[in-house]
Chain A
Amino acid sequence: MRVTAPGTPLLSVRDLSVSFRTEAGLVRAVRSVSYDVAPGEVLGIVGESGSGKSVSSLAVMNLLPGHAEVTGSARLNGQELIGQSDDALSAVRGSRIAMVFQDPLSALTPVYTVGDQIAEAILVHETVSRGEAMRRAVDLLHTVGIPNAAQRATAFPHEFSGGMRQRVMIAMAIANRPSLIIADEPTTALDVTIQAQILDVLQTARRMTGAAIVLITHDLGVIAGIADRVSVMYAGTIVETGSVDDVFYRPRMPYTLGLLGSIPRADAGERQPLTPIEGTPPSLINLPTGCPFVPRCPMAQDICRREEPGLLPIAGREPADTQRAACHFKDDIEQRQLTSRDIFPAPLPSSDAVRSVPREQRQQMLVVQDLVKSYPQMKGAVLRRKVGEVRAVDGVSFDIREGETLGLVGESGCGKTTTIMEILNLGRPASGHIAVLGHDTARMSGAEKFGIRRDLQVVFQDPMASLDPRLPIGEILAEPLRAHGVAPERVSARVRELLTLVGLRAEHVNRYPAAFSGGQRQRIGIARALALEPKILVLDEPVSALDVSVRAGVINLLERLRDQLGLSYLFVAHDLAVVRHIGNRVAVMYLGRIIESGDVDEVFDRPAHPYTQALLSAIPLPDPHKERARVRIVLKGDLPSPANPPSGCRFRTRCQKFANELTEPQRQRCIDESPALLPRTGSPDHLDACHWATAVEVL
């Protein structure tokens, strides 16, 4: 153990600035950032992409590319790190400060075994034999929860799942018992149940080593549960900092307020409109003077344009109070106790006139019945032969009625994307039926399909990939209109109408997609889908590629459009909070089957299937008190291969109920008999596929 005098920070960063010279000009990625990390504490750094949150930590480790210019100071136990030679710093890296990176596939060297890579971390800092280092590597793998550690140590990174690779990264980070672990978006690319596992491992690692953690993330929920303190970064600088409770419950900088108000909550019973922050973060080249948040801040005054506010204490607080905010009006916000809804104009709650008609009396827009989609599994490079079948979708049924949103949720590999691709195909499914507006797709002629395509449109996840970069947006929007024979003189007026409808400026018709930000491009994607006045929109992860602050705007837009135009949505997402917010009904998928479905509030408040319960329990809530009090259900292991699903109930290999609660005869039934999707909890509309379903509250 390294001894540190009480109150002395472990890491002390002062006036850290980073800039990159690029062809477009000087990018000031980090501007005068100062913070302390005390021994053993967890500091969360939140920010959107481009806020400088990762760059500032990489600068401390001197891991930025050579052309980065770093100034300021970062002291680890009093020892200066900035400006040190690579030799001197390499003695610190991995031994006293360790890092865990995002995307563990590319972060591990593909050509060495994971055991070798962990052993290497030990060998660079200690003189031990290779055998000893290897033995310790196996122990570490065991510690981070990798089964059969000794055998798995000889496997290569590509033979591990994403979650397992991240465990390897953590094992590597704690190999030399560092006093500080910097975790840069450690769970971002992972599914929510895997994220819960990894956060768990990170906590274990912290308990074992006593290390302080700097947790960098864009997800406020992840921080709420484990951080002691939080710093919020915007445009390269810290705009608010303080204890987790202060920042989450008493934010005093409008950006933080907006951010907190813009996140949909999985636990929100009555639906509040989200408060979107209009606009996008500023470019870090030639940043104008003044507060960088000015263009997006409804409270901005003249002084904000003239002077950049410092990160200062809030007037009238105790002297020991650690909260600081960078806003000229922070004291005003404090005195008047302003909330995000006071500052940011939230849209009026939309009318659900359509949905006030009882569900059974509304028209069925889309019906899917026992849908099956399988892929042949091939083997051999020259002479390919079929060795089996993967049932990516295995007997899925649901319906969507007029004016409602069905959220189709599940983790990667559950079959939700295959399901919507089958629907969009408008073909004859291998087994089962699809009916769009009452027309069975198996019996449709080519002309009918063409007509139905007008009514069934799609919005994809990545707005850039789905817009042709060589066409101005006016052309992009005119294309479907012309293809469906809209009179040429109507086209241009309709294009303008569409742009206004999705909240873009009609003057921008001649701009190219590259000129728009991510959120705006997604609006263009939505406008294109709406061009032909469809009745059903299939939305494939429409907001998951967007930054938190722009996400809310797009969600609100989708809600408004649905209610204004009477649309029905099939909303595919892995983010359950978004689905709770926008969905009316929800269907949860696991390994190609729907395992629970029903009214959104019913399913979220009283989930009956153990998988739904685990899924909901894994969602981090942006609410520190709730988050600390929660007991998580952490699922074991990874998704089994869909080529070889478990017998009986497909969830049984990971089911916490199966493992902990059931008696032997009960378990036998899970193994032998596949549970059907039935109402088991009293409400006729709430279906689940678990023999032993009991509704529980987890949020």
Chain B
Amino acid sequence: MTSTSKQTSLQRSEKVHRVLLGKQQILVTEDEPLLAQLERAGIHVEYQCREGYCSSCSIKLLWGHVSYPSEPLAWVQSGYLLACCAIVKSDIEIAFFAN
């Protein structure tokens, strides 16, 4: 049992993408949403609900692709992503405020 689940998680982790944030570069996987992975990299991201309904974690997506396992309740502005529930699907560049 244990070895099977380990194998699966290893397989899933193979997809690694780069997240550019200013001069920083963070490597993320598709295993969990962006927010938790940014936090582990020591980056503070505003949050409240961590499940897509408050929009606090909205950050600018300059380029690249993310997807949502289920449609978030919060409005997602075009050119933004919700870090708490977005799965990174390609290399991306993000910024905290648009201007």
B partners with A: no
List B residues at the A interface (Cβ < 8 Å).
none
List A residues at the B interface (Cβ < 8 Å).
none
